[in-house]
Chain A
């Protein structure tokens, strides 16, 4: 993080001031574990505070449509992005706020997109489910379950075609493993040795359907065997474990063009989307409360505390900063104008040929 502005001296948001970022691996010596943990904590806190404000904005009608929150799963994005190079690629599904911010997208442009404003990352035309940032190789934000998994294989194909050494990481939920696109993409990725990491975020619920009611073999990572692919399951509430597992998969992909299927075992603290209940007919309040004890932020905080690397004051300071960033994003989005009506007709087609 290059700009750390205490909230009381926060300048009024405008497009010129550098937008805060939540990238977790900036400029740190590789062996500095304390610094790494602090960055990971910071990334998760920014995601968390940002999305808490999303929920508030949704309740106020500032955000509309579908809005799927990531709260509880932040260790996956923070850990994964901390290992990727800037020229690697990320493709994800519609629960994409946390990944976008962890990848380095400005919280301002994400919030403005959620508000449907001109300064949103997609100019207000994509919304919550379709966050894109070409400059960060962040390739969306896709709304059809599993439909984007072949896209990741296609990016892997392009890397191989150009004989590059980048990697493409693809995020999707555990319910997507039952759709054909998952099977088709993984089969070709392995057949053609494409440098991809397929990352199942297993939060145990496809909307309101628990995994055992939807999937014949709950051990979803066992699917890897069908494609002669390496598979690994990870406790994804432990951000360090996520980082290590993704690190191994990325290394394989980068050096041997060997795709990996990773199962990230996590839990969704909120409802499927803002218009769905967090608990109810499909899961009990007790189950939810039990799982919320394994909050990835709390777990990392405790670990750091136990090892004496971070004082309570330091934690509070990071948290205040995360809250200030979320507030800054809100203020920026709120001040951003609605897209001009002529934008309606733009970006349907380009008028170029090559």
Chain B
């Protein structure tokens, strides 16, 4: 094991996959000369040259479409969005082109490509630059949607995403790039669609993904001091969702709190709750609660921003409520 940042783990994954398969290329704004807005592609231009690491104009729809077209004829593009907030301009290419090409063509055109970039709230970036998009993207059949929480997951999941012959939306946590963690030495991949128990416990299940997994771990640490053993399920992939792991955990703990960065209505958590009520109805001792961003655009002022975000105290309150302790 080596300790490294989430960012470096992603860079490693890119480098390894660019080396492994010469059909793979990285395209996006500032990815080459500038070394990436978040430095995930640092050094790759020098190693792989301008046909493999490609700077684009500021034209999300256009280069996303270029990715789709090149994937139709057998290349394996990695399309980087400087942030997923800008990817809204390209959503037609992600949803109407990439996700549906295989189906509309009766199976003739698979889409071996990755759309990746930072996602979720950051600090004081206000309304347009601080939001979590996974529920939008997870709604679409034909896509896979991946949300790694740790450096080890980031690397193993990105490598799997690049090798997958389907369009994969890869949502990196904007606030996670500097976080550190142990990463296995050498070659490894992590399968898409498999959740992981990040912490075992028997009192309550917290289901989370992406950055919120770290919040869930804080919650578990805090409650452990009160003798409450919380189990943390990290979804890792929000489409497809690993229902089995969620259900096994809830059958054990009899209660659940679902934690996410996105908004409440039609959120990922809403889907998780649906799976839980279907699979675990007779195992539930209390209603499942959700913790999410308040139902407002992200404000700028520090105190308002804090109040808008889901955090450990809100999650702790929810856990205590489902345990009838509050």
Q: A188 near B108 (CB under 8 angstroms)? A: no
Q: A126 is contacted by which of B76, B105, B112 (Cβ under 8 Å)?
A: B105
Which residues of B sit under 8 angstroms from A156, Cβ to Cβ?
Answer: 69
| CA A139 to CA B56, docked complex, whole Å | 24
Whether A154 contacts B106 in the complex (CB less than 8 A), given A188-B59, A354-B21, comes out as no
Residues of B within 8 A of A181 (CB): 61-62, 65, 92
Known contacts A348-B141, A350-B110; is-contact A188 B66 (Cβ 8 Å): yes
**B69-101 residues at the A interface, CB under 8 angstroms:** 69-77, 92-93, 96-97, 101
Contact across chains for B109 and A187 when beta carbons are under 8 A apart: no
Which residues of B are found within 8 Å of A348, using beta-carbon distances?
102-103, 141-142
Are the CB atoms of B93 and A150 closer together than 8 Å? yes
B64 within 8 A of A: yes
- Contact: A132 with B93, CB < 8 Å? no
| The one of B63, B65, B107 that contacts A123, using a Cβ cutoff of 8 Å | B107
In this assembly, does B232 line the interface, its C-beta being within 8 Å of a C-beta of chain A? no
What's the dominant secondary structure at chain A's contact region? Answer: mixed
- Residues of B within 8 Å of A91, CB to CB, are 69
A132, closest chain B residue (CB): B105
Chain A 317-349 interface mask (CB, 8 Å, partner B; 1/0):
000000000000000000000000000001111
Please state if A191 and B57 are interface contacts (CB–CB under 8 Å): yes
Of the residues B67, B75, B92, B160, contact of A353 by C-beta under 8 Å:
B160
Residues of A within 8 A of B77 (CB): 154
B223 to chain A, nearest CB (A): 38
Please determine whether A188 and B109 come into contact, CB atoms closer than 8 angstroms.
no
Whether B69 and A126, one on each chain, are in contact in the complex, defined by CB atoms closer than 8 angstroms, is no
Question: When the two chains form their complex, are residues B104 and A154 in contact, meaning their CB atoms are under 8 A apart?
Answer: no
Does B296 have its Cβ within 8 Å of any Cβ on chain A? no
Shortest distance from the beta carbon of A177 to any chain B beta carbon, whole Å: 14
* Interface check A22, CB cutoff 8 A: no
A124's closest neighbor in chain B, by CB? B106
Q: Does B25 contact A (CB under 8 A)?
A: yes
Counting CB contacts under 8 A, is A172 at the interface?
Answer: no
B62 nearest CB neighbor, chain A only: A184
Q: Give B112 Cβ to nearest chain A Cβ, in Å.
A: 6
Indicate if B285 sits at the interface (CB-CB under 8 A).
no
Complex formed: what's the CA distance from A279 to B198 in Å? 65
Q: Is B144 an interface residue (CB 8 A)?
A: yes
Residues of B with C-beta under 8 A to A20: none
Answer whether residue B238 sits at the interface, using C-beta atoms and an 8 A cutoff: no
Which residues does chain B contribute within 8 Å of A125, judged by CB atoms? 103-106
**Segment at the B interface, from A96-104, A141-149, A307-315:** A141-149
Q: Return the CB mask of B140-160 against A: 1 if under 8 Å, else 0.
A: 011010000000000000001
Q: How far apart are B55's CB and chain A's nearest CB, in angstroms? A: 10
B164 within 8 Å of A (CB atoms): yes
Selected contact of B102 from candidates A153, A350, A354, CB within 8 Å: A350
The answer, yes or no, to whether B165 is at the interface (CB within 8 Å) is yes
Interface size for B (C-beta < 8 A) is 46
| B256 CB–A CB distance under 8 Å | no
Partner of A155, one of B64, B70, B112, B141: B70
A257 to nearest B CB, angstroms? Answer: 13
Interface membership of A49, Cβ < 8 A: no
With beta carbons under 8 angstroms apart, the residue of B63, B75, B92 that contacts A161 is B75
B-facing residues in A2-45 (Cβ within 8 Å): none
Is the pair A347, B165 in contact by a Cβ cutoff of 8 Å? no
B63 touches A349 (CB 8 A): no
Q: Is A205 an interface residue (CB 8 A)?
A: no
Instruction: Answer whether A158 and B69 are a contact pair too, CB < 8 Å, given A147-B97, A346-B107, A349-B142.
Output: yes
A76 to chain B, nearest CB (A): 21
Closest CB of chain B to A88's CB: distance in Å?
11
Once the chains are docked, how many angstroms separate the CA of A354 from the CA of B164? 6
- Kindly identify, within residues 29 to 75 of chain B, every residue whose CB is under 8 Å from any CB belonging to chain A: 51, 56-57, 59, 61-75
B106 touches A184 (CB 8 A): no
Point out the residues of chain A lying under 8 angstroms from B107, CB to CB: 123, 346-347
> Within the assembled complex, what's the spacing in Å between the Cα atoms of A156 and B103?
23
What chain B residues lie within 8 Å of A124 (beta carbons)? 106
Contact across chains for B65 and A349 when beta carbons are under 8 A apart: no
Q: Give min CB distance, A36 to chain B, whole Å.
A: 29
CB of B321 closer than 8 Å to a CB of A: no
Question: Do A353 and B165 touch (CB < 8 A)?
Answer: yes
Q: Which residues of A contact B110 (CB under 8 A)?
A: 350, 352
Q: Using a CB-CB cutoff of 8 Å, which residues 184-211 of chain A contact chain B?
A: 184-185, 187-188, 191
Residue of A nearest to B25 (CB): A161
> Distance in Å from the Cβ of A275 to the closest Cβ of chain B?
21
- Is A259's beta carbon under 8 Å from chain B? no
| Interface flags, B244-262, vs A, CB<8A=1, else 0 | 0000000000000000000
Within the complex, the shortest CB–CB distance from A102 to chain B, in Å, comes to 19
Q: Does B166 contact A (CB under 8 A)?
A: yes
Chain B CB within 10 A, most for which of A149, A180, A353: A353
Q: List 22 A-B contacts (CB under 8 A).
A: A125-B103, A132-B106, A132-B108, A133-B108, A134-B108, A134-B109, A139-B72, A147-B65, A150-B68, A151-B66, A154-B65, A154-B67, A155-B73, A159-B73, A161-B51, A168-B69, A183-B62, A184-B61, A184-B63, A187-B59, A188-B59, A188-B66
Ranked nearest first, the 7 interchain pairs of A and B with the lowest CB-CB distance are A154-B69, A150-B65, A184-B62, A123-B106, A151-B69, A122-B106, A132-B105
Given contacts A156-B69, A354-B21, A354-B112, 17 further A-B contacts (CB under 8 A): A125-B104, A126-B104, A132-B105, A150-B61, A150-B63, A151-B69, A151-B97, A153-B65, A157-B75, A181-B92, A184-B57, A184-B63, A187-B62, A188-B63, A188-B66, A350-B165, A353-B160
Interfacial residues, chain A to chain B (CB-CB below 8 A): 89, 91, 120-126, 130, 132-134, 137, 139-144, 147-161, 168, 180-181, 183-185, 187-188, 191, 346-350, 352-354
